[in-house]
Amino acid sequence: MKSFNVRRVQRHLAAVLAAVEAGEAIEVRRRGRPVARIIPAPSAAAPSDWSRAEQRLQEVYPSPVGGITAAQTTADGRGER
């Protein structure tokens, strides 16, 4: 991990961000002490893995509470029938 002081980050922000975009994590230091870490953001294009979401929900909540599903509760709350 690269380490830069605050002044260098301020003066060379574009270069620091280019390094972060390339996948590098940057540690920002003030008077030699770490104060922040700049890391690459997760790619917005990367799909989330939802393949097991329904299975996991059914494991956590195996049956509707009181025999009423969340959809029914929502509809009742809105006055829909």
Cα separation, 4 vs 34, in Å, equals 9
CB 37 within 8 A of CB 8: no
- The domain in which residue 31 lies consists of 2-38
In a domain, 44, yes or no: no
In a domain, 45, yes or no: no
In a domain, 78, yes or no: yes
In a domain, 69, yes or no: yes
Q: How many domains does the chain have?
A: 2
Report pLDDT digits (tens) over 26-55.
Answer: 999 999 999 999 999 887 555 667 777 777
Report pLDDT digits (tens) over 64-78.
Answer: 666 777 777 778 888
Do both 54 and 33 map to the same domain?
A: no
Do both 7 and 31 map to the same domain?
A: yes
- CA of residue 62 relative to chain centroid, distance: 27
